[in-house]
């Protein structure tokens, strides 16, 4: 008999996303209001002989050492202090529901789930903060995926300020069915920024900055967009949330894939209160007034894209939902 853990791994939505610069090591600094969704992968972990192996049948998900869940487990193993009894191998099975390379943080969610599962199976007793310190080396979204709920993320995404949200909001996630490289989108973002700065004579003028390219963290009146979004969420003001949806990376992603702009327009035409590209794309989130409105949006958008799903805001992150014993054959 061996232990088997099942962990829910929620998708991540950037309600706002502003790029604030770039570190010397190339990582971009952001300020983003992040929200967990009830769109989840299921990650199963069980002890195994040998090293770490991963199984996943979804196209585009690697099943070798490049898989983020495998990398997270090995990073956790490497972080154990010298002399501590080495943990055994792990078998990881990933059941994908979150579209792959879709701007929804699916890979980071799987990595966070693997950290939680390995921590439990190996009896390490590490807390969320310790796991986040390991996880951020694998992906900037991993700390939020561990935390979940609603938070303002700063730095490269690892500095989290929890936001107490009101009653859960909901909407639709629409994915056009093609993958987008986050690295490629950031490269084009850097190009657009350089072009805009050259056109402005190298002068980045104040909080409004270069519209559509940088400084989306400020509203025209100079107020911080993330703070305004947090306040709107706290009030449960769905109309204000809709007005504040924003993504600095959208112009870059649209430069690569014009279909994203067309998709966002279709979501708005279907009646969404507001729409925003998810992460680095290509998925689009459309905010609904309530669940009935979200269901109507999803019905209206059927046929527009291969993936259309009603999603609700979720108050937590990755969590173990089942622990059982299984018989080894």
Lowest mean pLDDT, pick from 9-18, 107-116, 194-203, 297-306? 194-203
137-146 residue pLDDT tens: 999 999 999 9
85-97 residue pLDDT tens: 667 889 999 999 9
| Domains of the chain, first to last | 2-163 (3.30.230.10), 170-314 (3.30.70.890)
**Residues with catalytic roles:** 12, 141
Beta carbons of 91 and 75 less than 8 angstroms apart:
no
Alpha-carbon distance of 27 to 156, in angstroms, equals 7
**Residue 225: pLDDT over 80:** yes
Alpha-carbon distance of 135 to 144, in angstroms, equals 10
Q: Quick one: pLDDT band at residue 203, thresholds 50, 70, 90?
A: low
CB contact set of 139 (below 8 Å; sequence gap of 6+):
68, 107, 108, 111
260-306 residue pLDDT tens: 999 999 999 999 999 999 999 999 999 999 999 999 999 999 999 99
Whole-model pTM: value is 0.92
Look up residue 281 and give its two tokens.
Answer: 């794309």
Lowest mean pLDDT, pick from 50-59, 83-92, 121-130, 141-150? 83-92
Give the closest residue to 150 by CA, choosing from 29, 40, 286, 32.
32
What are the φ/ψ torsions at residue 228 (nearest 5 degrees)? -65, -40
Alpha-carbon distance of 92 to 56, in angstroms, equals 9
| Mean pLDDT of all residues belonging to the chain | 91
Look up residue 111 and give its two tokens.
Answer: 């990595």
- Which segments within the chain are labelled E, that is strand? 2-22, 28-48, 52-55, 89-95, 150-154, 159-162, 170-175, 246-247, 274-277, 284-288, 307-314, 319-326
55 in helix, strand or coil?
strand
CB contact set of 216 (below 8 Å; sequence gap of 6+):
16, 17, 18, 19, 225, 246, 247, 248
Look up residue 179 and give its two tokens.
Answer: 């993958």
Q: How far is CA 127 from CA 71, 119, 123, 124, 235, in A?
A: 19, 9, 12, 9, 31
């Amino acid at each position: 008999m061996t232990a088997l853990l099942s962990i829910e791994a929620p998708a991540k939505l950037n309600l706002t996303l502003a790029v604030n610069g770039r570190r010397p090591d190339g990582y971009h600094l952001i300020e983003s209001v992040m929200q967990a969704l009830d769109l989840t992968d299921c990650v199963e972990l069980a002890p195994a002989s040998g090293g770490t192996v991963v199984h996943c049948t979804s196209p585009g998900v690697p099943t070798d050492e490049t898989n983020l869940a495998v990398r997270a487990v090995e990073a956790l193993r490497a972080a154990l202090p010298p002399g501590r009894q080495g943990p055994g191998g792990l078998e990881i099975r990933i059941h994908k529901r979150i579209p792959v390379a879709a701007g929804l943080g699916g890979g980071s969610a799987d990595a966070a789930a693997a950290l939680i599962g390995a921590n439990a199976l190996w009896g390490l007793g590490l807390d969320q903060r310790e796991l986040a310190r390991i996880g951020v080396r694998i992906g900037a979204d991993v700390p939020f995926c561990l935390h979940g709920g609603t938070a303002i993320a700063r730095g490269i995404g690892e500095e989290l300020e929890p936001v107490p949200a009101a009653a859960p909001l909901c909407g639709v996630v629409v994915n056009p069915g093609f993958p987008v490289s986050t690295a490629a989108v950031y490269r084009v973002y850097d190009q657009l920024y350089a072009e805009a700065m050259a056109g402005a004579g190298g002068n980045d003028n104040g909080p409004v900055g270069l519209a559509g390219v940088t400084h989306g963290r400020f509203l025209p009146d100079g107020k911080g967009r993330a703070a305004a979004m947090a306040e709107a969420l706290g009030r449960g003001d769905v109309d204000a949330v809709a007005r504040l949806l924003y993504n600095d990376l959208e112009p870059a992603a649209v430069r690569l894939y014009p279909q994203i702009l067309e998709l966002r327009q279709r979501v708005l035409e279907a009646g969404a209160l507001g729409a925003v590209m998810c992460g680095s794309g290509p998925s689009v989130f459309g905010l609904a007034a309530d669940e009935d409105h979200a269901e109507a949006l999803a019905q209206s958008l059927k046929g527009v894209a291969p993936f259309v799903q009603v999603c609700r805001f979720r108050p937590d992150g990755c969590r173990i939902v089942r622990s059982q014993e299984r018989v080894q054959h």
